[in-house]
Amino acid sequence: QLQLLESGPGLVEPSETLSLACSVSGGSISSNTYFWGWIRQPPGKGLEWIGSFYDSGTTFYNPSLKSRVTIHVDTSKNQFSLKLNSVTAADTAVYYCVRHLRYNYGYFDFWGQGTLVTVSS
């Protein structure tokens, strides 16, 4: 059974870089059937897609965050990571790593449990 597990600091200071990792088990991130990516959800609010990758490293991002976001892929560890720089309180959210199907941009069929990141000094 596929499992996605997010990890990283729960507290980040304003203007610093948020860094999270997603460890994948039960499936390969090198599969050409899927995209893999990140979604976030501010407390009590809705869902925002951040960005994704395919083919072991080709990325595409939400334009609203593109200038601050980078997704890195480590196929040897079956992991991928998210870096979001120059964070503010508006970046406080639960961050989910996800898998989505490669039909246009895909529906999300597997989600990690999510990790809360708070931006505060």
Partner 1 sequence: DIVMTQSPESLAVSLGERATINCKSSQTVLNTSNNRNYLGWYQQKPGQPPKLLIYWASTRESGVPDRFSGSGSGTDFTLTISSLQAEDVAVYYCQQYYSTPITFGQGTRLEIK
Residues of the shown chain interacting with partner 1 in the complex, contacts defined by CB under 8 A: 46-49, 60, 62-64, 96, 100-101, 103-109, 111-114
Q: CB of residue 106 vs partner 1: minimum separation in angstroms?
A: 5
Between 16 and 68, CB nearer to partner 1: 68
- Separation CA 111–CA 108 (nearest Å): 7
Separation between Cα atoms, residue 28 and residue 89, nearest integer Å? 34
Least separation in angstroms between residue 25's CB and partner 1 is 16
Least distance CB 109 / partner 1 (angstroms): 5
**Tokens found for residue 102:** 């490669």
CA geometry: angle at 52 spanning 111 and 84, to 5°? 95
d(CA 40, CA 22): 13
* Cβ distance to partner 1 smaller for residue 46 or 76: 46
Which residue, 43 or 120, has its beta carbon nearer to partner 1? 43
Considering only CA atoms, give the Rg of the chain.
Answer: 13
Using the minimum distance from each CB to partner 1, give the nearer residue, 47 or 89: 47
